[in-house]
Amino acid sequence: MVRPANSSDVDALYELASHTDGGLLNLPHDRDALKARLGWSEASFARQLEAPENELYFLVLENEDTGAIGGCACVFSRIGVPWPFYSYKIATHTHVSRELSHSFAARLLHIVNDFDGAAEVGGLFLHPDHRSGGLGALLARSRYLFIAQHRERFPEKIIADLRGYVGPDGSPFWNAIGRIFFGRDFREADHYNALHGNQFIADLMPRYPIYVDLLPKAARECIGRAHDQAIPARRILEAEGFSHDGYIDIFDGGPTLSAQIANLRTLRESREAVVTDTLSPDENGGAALVTSGALKSFRVWRDILVDDGGEARLLTARRAGVGAAIRYVA
């Protein structure tokens, strides 16, 4: 089951973070940073509003039998506040010499704020013991079901920053650009960003376009390349309707995917119904992700159901309760 995280989850999330290699901005292996995120999330779930401001909705995957936390995922309602959200945009500029009868198409990296005001999904991480059985899809799609249930809390556009390639010596992309300007290695800068935000980027990053061909080969090969562990997440995002339009992360060069929220598969295909009864085990129902409740009461689980014109019978109707309003998606 997926539910909103709360402050009592800090120890479980700290343990979960120990299974990352320190490269997940939204799941830092830092107890104080996790406490701050959980506090931010709890305040966001409690806030009454009619438009997105600067909310973080932190969700966790919980084993209902044991209470163990097997994963987490985040939704940010509006990025670019209180500090800008920076990306590199890849552009092509063609140089032509008529005298030499030669042309050259140069790729350039421009630092931009094109995604300020968009929502963002991130922080998707599963414990190594839970990376099978469709739990990744359950956790990932629960974010879009949350958006569908609380549409007024989100803007029109949404992005996902995929983790870029990191090798034994850190990020080749960061080593070629960021390290020169900031004087810190990748993990130190990434950790600082997780704790203190990215104002330091605005202070120190280069203002002029960077010619890709002047970068070392190892850095060039990282541009738009997702970390091996992020490839399954990329497939899930692309199946949902996200695409890569030439934006990359300024830290590790990983791809930034984007979509219009209205075009997301989960929002387009989800249906609303009212629970009327329990589905008999011998009935042929369809597998679905089901959600009920709002804000702090929001829950998502896998179920079998039959929908008769908006009246639904669920195999585990007790989860929502007869008479409860649900949303589901196959």
Annotated catalytic sites, by residue?
227
Instruction: Give the 3-state secondary structure of 150-188.
Output: CHHHCCCEEEEECCECCECCECHHHHHCHHHHHCCCHHH
CB neighbour list of residue 146: distance below 8 Å, 6 or more residues apart: 57, 59, 75, 291, 298, 300
Alpha-carbon distance 150 to 274, whole Å?
18
CB neighbour list of residue 62: distance below 8 Å, 6 or more residues apart: 1, 2, 3, 68, 69, 70
The secondary element (H helix, E strand) that includes residue 36 is helix 31-46
Token pair in block for residue 203:
């202070």
Beta bridge partners of 89: 110, 247
Q: Which of 319, 274, 251, 322 is nearest to 25 (CA)?
A: 251
DSSP 226: B
Distance of CA 246 to the CA centre of its chain: 18
Residues 249, 218 contacting (CB under 8 angstroms): no
Alpha-carbon distance 90 to 111, whole Å?
9
CA distances from 170 to 145, 191, 219, 224, 281 (A): 35, 13, 11, 16, 52
Residues 298, 146 contacting (CB under 8 angstroms): yes
Instruction: Give the 3-state secondary structure of 91-117.
Output: EEEEEEECCCCEEEEEEEEEEECCCCC
Residues 314, 304 contacting (CB under 8 angstroms): yes
